[in-house]
Chain A
Amino acid sequence: MMTETREELEEAVRSMIEEGRTGVGPEPSEEELLAYHRRELSPSETDRFEERLAHYPDAARLLAAFTSETEPNPGDPDHVTDDREAEAWRKLKERLVEPRQQPVAAAALHPASAEPPLRPKPPAPRPRIPILPWIVRVAAATLVLLLGILWYSRGERIEDLSRQVTRLSEPQINSEQRLFTPEVRDRGTAEERIVHLPHRDHPYVLVLALSGASDFSSYRLEIVPLETPKAEPLWMRSGLERQPGDTVSLVLPGAFLPSGKYELRLYGLGEQSEELVASYEVEV
């Protein structure tokens, strides 16, 4: 009959534990330990966890220490009397009174200790001025200011548009008229052919004379920016009719066109074709 010594058995078990850990998984966390203790695992999970726990005796000891419902017997080394606990509290409380100044070395509690005990890490000093709330307040005030500026600007713009609409809705007096005639197109230099329109709040009345031009049933008027090559018309309107006096007129709001050069193009619209009847350069 084979006999074994305690040392042989311990060696066998130790090697099993060390090698078996790769198969059972990592050391259980506190949450896993408590889930097992509280019987929150299924039967198969419980079986697997118990196999795992057997390979981590420290974890098993931790669980046992914190969840045991029985007190150690007076002869047990981990037995604590009420007096000893009260004394331990008194010593700990002294360290709590002045936690920032000088942590009492644990060696002072037990001068006979064979080894110097661990010193608790001194806590970080608290800032005297609460900086974070001030940063939050400044950021909030800045945000409110920005929103206020945006809102005010928006309000201003609405007011401006409202003024324009009001102005256009009211009878216009002394609106500046500009007459576009063939003679304007035929001026000597290119510069002389350009019609200048100072940028202003009040509208212009642009009158395009069609005398001498072919008669079409309807016309299309376009305003095309000249400074952008192959630009699309900025504005166009079809279905215009020749007015008495052989004219086509346009009320152009003074602020409609940004500064720049434009071309007024008037097309006569036939049934199946269109013809450029007149074009004028305008500079705002």
Chain B
Amino acid sequence: MLATSSDSRDRESGASPETGCGPEPPRRTRARRQTVEETRHERFERLFHRYFRKIYSFFVRSGLSENDAEDLTQTVLLRVYESMDTYRGGDELAYLMSITRSVWKNELRRRSAKKRSASLLTLDDPDRPIDDTQETRLHGPAPRSPEEGALWQEKVRALRRKVEDLPPRNRRALLLRTDGLSYREIADATHTTVDGVKALLREARKRVRDDS
């Protein structure tokens, strides 16, 4: 996909060995370089339109604002553009995913260095839990007293035992959902449908809540 394709524009510009005689004058060399850059541009533009929305979706779903997500998406695509000449083939999708992941990890490290949580932020997504907050996800509710803290820990341990006892598919769906993935994301990632994910989660919550 990233390999060089034949460029009809190159032939149309007349910058071909057949038409020339003798060494190329400098202005033809510049014209040829410009034509090569245009070919690279055209290849990159195809990549952009193929992957922009996917990369953007990942960053937005990971918790960034729309503006930050678009900035990081541009960062990913710029890296792709700069490395196009050294790309040696292979799975194009894996290549884009790799760069996206790398940029995301750098962003997490940068935010962590600024003493901000790297966990998910609240999103205006009807699928997501409404009352998620960063502090709650990281630290749990502020302990009211040592007794309440101990009770809370006991509840967490009991819940964990119940989750561990769930059937594998239910447990996995619950893990992904609790960590912030939407129904659609879980369905796309695990060969299921949105309705299938909802059914798995319904069953999982029912079993966890039942005091059996």
Contacts and interface: CB of A to CB of B under 8 A. Distances in A.
Interface of A: 1-4, 6-17, 30-31, 33-34, 39, 47, 50-51, 53-55, 57-58, 60-72, 76-78, 80, 85, 88-89, 91-93, 95-96, 99, 106, 109-110, 112-115, 117-118, 120, 123
Contacts of A71: 53
B185 A4 contact: no
B82 interface: yes
Contacts of B107: 118
Given A30-B101, A51-B172, A9 B75 contact: no
B158 A2 contact: yes
A77 B136 contact: no
Given A8-B156, A34-B93, A55-B175, A70 B184 contact: yes
Contact of B79 (A51, A95, A120): A120
A181 to B, nearest CB: 81
Interface in B65-107: 65-75, 77-79, 81-82, 91, 93-98, 100-101, 103-104, 106-107
Q: Interface size bucket, B side?
A: 35 or more
Given A7-B140, A50-B172, A99-B81, 18 more contacts: A11-B140, A13-B175, A31-B91, A34-B93, A57-B175, A61-B62, A61-B181, A61-B189, A62-B97, A64-B181, A64-B185, A77-B123, A99-B82, A109-B71, A113-B67, A115-B68, A117-B72, A120-B79
A255 B159 CA distance: 101
A74 B185 CA distance: 16
Contacts of B78: 92, 95-96, 120
Nearest to A105: B71
B137 interface: yes
Contacts of A13: 160, 163, 174-175, 178-179
